[in-house]
Chain A
Amino acid sequence: MFKLAGLCLSLLITASLIAAPCTSVTIKDDREVWINGQRIIRDNFGVNSPRWSRDGQQLAYVNDFDLSSDPVTHIVVIDRAGHVVQRMPVPESARFNFVTEMGWLNPTTIWVEGHINPSVSVYEEFDLSTREMKHETFGTAFAPSPDGATLAYRDHEPHPARPGRHPALMIDDSPVKLLDGVVVTGPLVWSSTGERLAVGVQQNKHSGVALVTRRGMLERVSMLPVEGRPQAIAWSTDGSLLVRANIQNPTYRIDRDGAVVASTTPLRAAALDEACRSGRADQ
């Protein structure tokens, strides 16, 4: 009897954790952060690319509206009450003036992908405790693994890219061999465990996804029955992949066995759910 009651209690607790609503974050006017319907900060220098820390206690975003300051771009960290914890300038040596992607590697390190030119972006890590910038890497489509220990990206290619040259998929600075004719386009999306990397690819103009292990071994390539390049990829909780296959937004599901089926699941909802569980904010 007591065992049954204990089981029920643990089920109830588990259920309440699973069902806990994700914090609702809204960015208004590119300047205001609202959490659960309350404005917690207005920053006239801009609130761009906001991202929650993994514990959900801090929010990092980018200032890049203050054209009178030098440098223009700053990384700002606030707590849930809207107090500024850190405001760190992005030095000129970082070369970029636009952040295309940003995230938390760990509680004290934020990674940033900065735009340099049509073919090149730069990956930088900002240590919030030392206020130093480190780990400069050039390429595109940077994707640190969930534990922050592994970095996947497309190799650097100077602009303009020469015809026929296709940047390789890199994992921790080592090229990953894919199939002949398969070109890495991105995005690169890690599974929640960080064991696998889904890689947006193109072959014969068709959109597809390659699956690669953390160690850089190709598991399979699944091509989709439409032309274009993948626009977004999300991992479902059952291990299948949802792919927005091109700019016209047809969505496909790639099952764990590699079978491709047209999907009616809204990719954005799935991606948001994933972002919610991983504690990332989404505009």
Chain B
Amino acid sequence: MRRRLLLLACIALTPLVARAQTQSVIAGTTCSSSCLFVNADPNLGGPPGVIIGCSFADPVPIGATVRSIRIDRNFSQPFAGQNSPGVSVAVNSQAIASATINNVAACGNLVDYSFSSTDYFLGFPGYVYGGLNTIFFDIAGGAADAGFAQALITYDTDVKSVTTTGAEPIIPTDSGLVNDCLQFQSTLGVFAFKGLTGVAGVAATVSSDRNATTTVDVITQPPATDGTGHAIGYFQTRRLGTIGLSTTAASFPSSSSTLLVQEANFQPTFLITAYYTPREADYNGKDVTACGVSGTFKAGFLKEIKIEGSGIAVDGRVIAYNKDTACYEEDTCPRTSSGPCATDNHTAAISPNVMEFTTNFNIANVGDRTAEDIGDLINNYHIDNYVDTKAAYKKWNNIKAAKVRYLSGGGQCSN
């Protein structure tokens, strides 16, 4: 009883392994003579070797994989006391097996010899699917009588596939900008399967349809697939778009897939701080006049403008400080380095090492922003987010490690 339970447990624990179901089919050949004398014996005036070729039409269903071939043919040694011939059999250019013919008999008593290939899981090498295959009998060192031949083809109908799936691209840490273009990198997962079984050792080649004339995409080819039929390669580009990937591997039909390079997360996280434009309404104290602008302003407000660069007066005017003239001047809005007005929930200062002006991006848990400003303090993975009031600035929760996603604009390259 206990033994039975143990057996049941063992069965339950045995992993299910998908095995290819094989079938066999017999193909007649053009070697149909019932008794063909082949003289490959120099002692009998023949050459040292004779090769006989015959062919058979591929009998397996479309899409099947020929795993092995067995060639059957009747042979005998026609003369007692003479050399025994050796027979080596190949199909197309793939050797199968060989034998020595040492039975002496007349034509009516030929003996069946079988020549069996090994089992090729990925398919018999060089087999011609849907066409004619040639069997070569290399008879040497003796004379032989050869009868008709047939081929036993063993095949399976498991579908073979090698495919590539590109993961969503990222912008890697060392991307930088080359000709104002960001670098995008995608991990390529290559999968080689036969039926439900991953195939190990498949060396796939992945290529991009955009590289036909000029190399714009760099592909690090995957190594041979592992025991699960999986391998990883890498795709790098500085050009956005939809890329057609084709995957090829010996013994596998080629496949196509697409990779979209458009939005992408920056691999490193960012520091997110904030800045604002001072407003005169936030300042108390005495009113004073200022060089370059009419009217009076709170003294503290003017001092703040000198530090910050610009501010909004109580009458709505935007006052900026010009260090060259050491005077104030009016502007139409708080200005960014790239020219546009700094706008709440829109403007951000970025490092020109990391992205270009006009880049649209999303800061996780903050929102979408546009790169419109720069400054010496904003270096590498640091974004300064513009807020429009001092109150918002004071309550800004600095984020030490924010995820940032490239959306559009800026560093995209069209060619």
* Residues of A that sit less than 8 Å from B by CB: 30, 48, 64-65, 67, 70-72, 92, 95, 97-98, 100, 115-122, 138, 140-141, 154, 156-162, 165, 167, 185-186, 228-229, 231, 246-249
Contact = CB atoms under 8 A, between A and B. Distances in A.
19 contacts: A67-B395, A95-B307, A97-B394, A97-B398, A115-B273, A115-B384, A117-B349, A117-B377, A118-B376, A122-B307, A158-B305, A162-B324, A165-B323, A186-B376, A229-B379, A231-B380, A247-B174, A247-B354, A249-B174
Given A97-B393, A162-B323, A156 B307 contact: yes
B244 interface: no
Given A119-B309, A156-B307, A247-B353, A72 B377 contact: no
A116 B308 contact: yes
Nearest to B324: A162
B323 A160 contact: no
A227 to B, nearest CB: 10
A154 to B, nearest CB: 7
Nearest to A48: B400
Contacts of A186: 376
A23 to B, nearest CB: 23
Contact of B353 (A119, A138, A162, A228): A228
* Most central of A117, A160, A228, A248 by chain B CB within 10 Å: A117
B394 A247 contact: no
* Most central of A156, A158, A246, A249 by chain B CB within 10 Å: A158
Contact of B174 (A120, A141, A248): A248
A158 B321 contact: yes
Complex A-B, nearest 8 residue pairs according to Cβ-Cβ distance, in ascending order: A118-B375, A158-B309, A117-B275, A119-B375, A118-B349, A159-B309, A160-B337, A98-B273
B135 interface: no
Contacts of A122: 307
B216 interface: no
A118 B374 CA distance: 6
B102 interface: no
A117 B309 contact: yes
Contacts of B306: 158
A116 B323 contact: no
Nearest to B277: A117
A185 B376 contact: yes
A199 B184 CA distance: 33
Contacts of A228: 353
B377 A158 contact: no
A229 B349 CA distance: 18
A48 B398 CA distance: 11
* Most central of B321, B322, B396 by chain A CB within 10 Å: B396
B307 A160 contact: no
B323 A157 contact: yes
Given A158-B307, A247-B353, A118 B380 contact: no
Interface string B265-288: 000000001111000000000000
Contacts of B308: 116-117, 120, 158-159
* Most central of B307, B375, B376, B377 by chain A CB within 10 Å: B376
B335 A160 contact: yes
A154 B377 CA distance: 11
B299 to A, nearest CB: 14
A159 B176 contact: no
B339 to A, nearest CB: 9
Given A116-B307, A117-B384, A160 B375 contact: yes
Contact of A100 (B310, B377, B394, B395): B377
A97 B174 CA distance: 29
B179 interface: no
